[in-house]
Amino acid sequence: MMDGKERRGFTSMSPELQRQIASKGGKAAHQKGTAHEWTAEEARKHGRAGGLESHRRRRERKEAEKFAADHPSGGGEAYV
């Protein structure tokens, strides 16, 4: 339990059971014809966007680590 709340729905299931249910939903959507299918252009566009975001976060994390190493006191006094 988290924060005194009971786990319900998907969170109460094992990851394997979650995958099985999600797989059934995806297969049903494809059979019905309502599933989204990526074009090569969409996949390329969104894959690139995800990669750029990942690299941006990695760069920011490295910059923050370098700043922390260069300013052992935390550097917060400049903002007071």
Alpha-carbon distance of 19 to 11, in angstroms, equals 12
Task: Report in angstroms the alpha-carbon separations of 21 from 6, 16, 30, 35, 75.
Answer: 21, 9, 15, 15, 50
pLDDT > 80? residue 49: yes
Q: Which residue has the higher pLDDT, 74 or 44?
A: 44
What was the pLDDT predicted at 1?
Answer: 47
Domains of the chain by residue range: 37-71
pLDDT > 70? residue 79: no
What was the pLDDT predicted at 38?
Answer: 85
User: Model confidence over 1-28: pLDDT tens digits?
Assistant: 456 788 898 889 999 999 999 999 989 9
Backbone angles phi, psi at 71, to 5 degrees: -130, 75
User: Model confidence over 33-46: pLDDT tens digits?
Assistant: 888 888 999 999 99
